[in-house]
A and B are shown apart, each in its own frame.
Chain A
Amino acid sequence: MSIEWYIVLSALLFATGAMGILIRRSPMVILLCLELMLNAGNLALVAFSRMVGNGEGQVFAVIVMVVAACEVVVGLGLIVAIFRRRLPLNVDDLRELRG
């Protein structure tokens, strides 16, 4: 398989994740869609790493995974804190910080 296919698939997955963020209102599903976009980026990184025959892109992908894990931990901690304060879990209702 040529590398093009992987890159196009990665673009498709990224667009799907972005679409999900625009459509869904639950912060949990928005976090899941962020995961989709990060993984699409990972797929592109690994595909380019294969294209140049160099393992450094895979190290990038591993670091992206670490950052994604941190983001999930903090995001889920926020969701639990919102839930404990009996606030609605809906990004349209939680907009006090909007300018």
Chain B
Amino acid sequence: MEMLYKALKRAIWLYASFRERLSPGWITKNSSRIKEWELMAYAYSKSPIGVVGGAIVFIMFILAVIGPFIAWEPYWEYKIVTLGEEYRYRAPCLPPGCSGEPILGTDEWGRDLLAMSLYGIRISFVISIVVVLLGAPLGIILGLLAGYKGGVVDEVIMRVTDVFLAFPGLVLAIAFASVLPQRIRGFLESNSIARAFFAALFGLRETEYGQIAALLSIWFAMVLVWWPGYTRVVRGSVLSVREMPFIEAAKLAGLSTWRILIKHILPNVISPVIVMMTFDIATATLFAAALSFLGLGPQEPVPELGFLISKAGQFFPERSAHVVLYLGALLLIMALGWNLLGDALRDILDPRTRRAIEYRLEKEKKR
């Protein structure tokens, strides 16, 4: 994947020249870091799993962004009302044998499944990413504090973490997601800016703010379930890093706690965390779909993927097999993309495998 490597290298150098303009001399100071990035880019471009995963994520990202705009059928129209009962759970109509009808069939309300899935991708994508992007930093910060400060702070944070971890994730999320909609619904009712914002974010209409409240409850419940994992992992890493001489040196040099945490400890514990986050996005995608499947998410007419599958379950397998299989495959691909990416990242961020690639690179250069 030469092209990919070249493209990534170009991106790295663009970033480097940008930083150079902000603070001259940046490139020389960070030349070894830049080299590491180039090595990582090379390792990534050589990993078929990583490239496939990255491609899937990229495609899903594009679909998530433009989905609601290019969907040819609005999700709020129940087609069976206009087109009749036979449009309910219509079987897939695949060319070349069939034409003129929705390619992948219709759902319970006669809506084109392919169009609905564009909305669904946006919803799943947004939820999974935001949950991890909010839950992880929260957990990381708490983990850094707990591991570094020790003592009472550590005890308190760990007790709270343990309590949250005492509940199996799904159960806790179910509990939270069943009580939150009331509150959030009230909040959205009164706050029009929030309403508009979240509607736009999920690609839905503002009138569905009740369903958006359900979505936000799922989201909130998931964040609450997600952060403890990071706290534990980060705390463990910090405990082993903080005894190292260079931390002591930083302390002696008089650096403030925050500076030490951010500039010295964090970079040393971040690699497994990044991998964890990538895998977690996949898990979050499935988790959100599962919560919707259980009925905790948005209801009609929002075409959330898990919800559509659960509705299809009633007519399964005689009439709605195609819905389950197609939407299931879609969820599978979305999660698989992130999992593949995470698997490749784990190998790339392991310095030992990078060394092996470095040697190979050097040898090839010599020839």
- Please indicate whether A and B come from the same complex rather than being unrelated chains: no
- Which B residues are closer than 8 A to A by beta carbons? none
